[in-house]
Amino acid sequence: MIRIHLSRLLGERRMKQKDLAILTGIRPATINEIYNELIERVNLDHLNRICSVLECPLSDLLEYVPDKHVSHP
């Protein structure tokens, strides 16, 4: 599972989703889907813009968490 930490990052910066949308040029609805971890596919350019505005590495925004119920052969 990939976890998206946008809500934490915005909270730490006291930034609203709307502000991030304006600064990145990403639609507010898309920012909201990323924020709430509802998005299934993320545009790499969007990740680049978010990391640029928040001045953070991609590893602060995304985290891989292994699924507990998936078994590997």
CATH code of the domain containing 59: 1.10.260.40
User: Is residue 71 assigned to a domain?
Assistant: no
As for how many domains the chain has, the answer is: 1
Is there a contact between 47 and 58 (Cβ–Cβ < 8 Å)? yes
User: Is residue 23 assigned to a domain?
Assistant: yes
Integer Cα distance of 37 and 12 in angstroms: 18
Q: What is the pLDDT of residues 19-34, one digit of tens each?
A: 999 999 999 999 999 9
Q: Which residues 6+ apart lie within 8 Å of 59 measured at CB?
A: none
User: Is residue 39 assigned to a domain?
Assistant: yes
User: Model pTM?
Assistant: 0.88
Q: What tokens does 16 get? A: 């609203």
Amino acid 68: pLDDT: 83
User: Is residue 31 assigned to a domain?
Assistant: yes
